[in-house]
Amino acid sequence: MHINPNDPLVTLPEAAARMGVNMRRARNILSRNIKPVRTPWGIGYRLDDVNAVRKMGR
């Protein structure tokens, strides 16, 4: 899977805040639906994927 290096990435706490759930619930939701991106600074999630998962639950 090719990831564009210019895609904005968010950390788990930021993804949880954007999704409106706590970190444990966000981790469970994201692990089932999208693949995390490993960076030298830690694990991140693409902002577009987080927004898509947030809309998927509605």
- Residue 56 confidence (pLDDT): 83
- Residue 1 confidence (pLDDT): 54
Kindly report, residue by residue over 5-44, the tens digit of the pLDDT: 788 999 999 999 999 999 999 999 999 989 999 988 899 9
38 φ, ψ (degrees, to nearest 5): -85, 130
Rounded CA-CA distance 40/36 in Å is 13
Question: Following DSSP, what letter does each residue of 10-58 receive, concatenated?
Answer: E-HHHHHHHHTS-HHHHHHHHHHH---EEETTEEEEEHHHHHHHHHHT-
